[in-house]
Structure 1
Amino acid sequence: MIHVHFKQTSDGKISSFKMKGHADFAERGQDIVCAGASAVSFGAINAIMELTKVKPMIKQSKGGFLECRVPDHLSIEVDDKVQLLLQGMVISLQTIERDYGKYINITFG
């Protein structure tokens, strides 16, 4: 199962997320849950970097682990854009979770 955990600040903003595990929906190369979750998460990170020029702190490994941390002290305007992109990511992942909940779990804290 893919586990995605979004860490939020006291005012509800996403400060980071971790994604780990494998969906095991299908064989490697055929797993649409894994492919969808990967495309959504990497697409969001790429959009943040390209559209806001913010470079998040990223850790990843071949074992199905991705961590992304938003830098502190962004301007309000830039932070609003980053948050909008991250919220779009959340909605996309929740859509996958709604249809494939046995293979992906999303938590907040």
Structure 2
Amino acid sequence: MTRVTVYKDKRGSIMGYKVDGHAGYDEYGRDIVCAAISVLSQTALIALNEVCDIDRNDIKYCIDEDKGHLSVTIPNNLTKEKRLKADIVFETMIVGIKGLLEEYPDYLTLEYGEV
């Protein structure tokens, strides 16, 4: 099962997310649930840099493909414009995760935590 955790600060702004574990829907290389989660979470990471214009060096991330792990954290001192764009990227990723959760509830979870 894959666990997706979205982290918010005390004001409710999303500061990052973590994806842990393989979905287990099918064998490695054929697991469409795991692939979909990977596409959503990795596209969000890339978009934080390329769409939101957050410097790559300011985004803290860790990827371990063998363990099915990705964690991403953005800085808390973004300009208002970058913050708004980051919110859209995060919320779009969450919409995709929720859609997967509706179709494949036995293979992933979505949780929220505070940073």
Please classify the TM superposition score into its range, dividing by the shorter chain length: over 0.9
Q: Post-superposition, which runs of at least 4 consecutive aligned residues in structure 1 deviate over 2 A?
A: none
1:8-50 CA-to-partner distances (Å, cap 9, x unmatched) read 1122111111100010000111100000000001111111111
Match of 1:10 in 2: 10
Q: Which runs of 5+ in 1 are unaligned?
A: none
* Residue from 94, 98, 106 that aligns with 2:110: 106
What is the TM-score normalised by the length of structure 1?
0.96
2:97 is matched by which residue type in structure 1?
A: L
Percent identity between the two aligned chains: 28
Matched positions, count = 109
Match of 1:60 in 2: 63
Match of 1:44 in 2: 44
What is the TM-score normalised by the length of structure 2?
0.91
Match of 2:94 in 1: 90
Match of 1:33 in 2: 33
1:73-92 CA-to-partner distances (Å, cap 9, x unmatched) read 00011101011110000010
CA RMSD of aligned residues (A): 0.9
For 2:96 and 2:112, the matched residues in 1 are separated by 15
For 1:27 and 1:49, the matched residues in 2 are separated by 32
Q: Which runs of 5+ in 2 are unaligned?
A: none
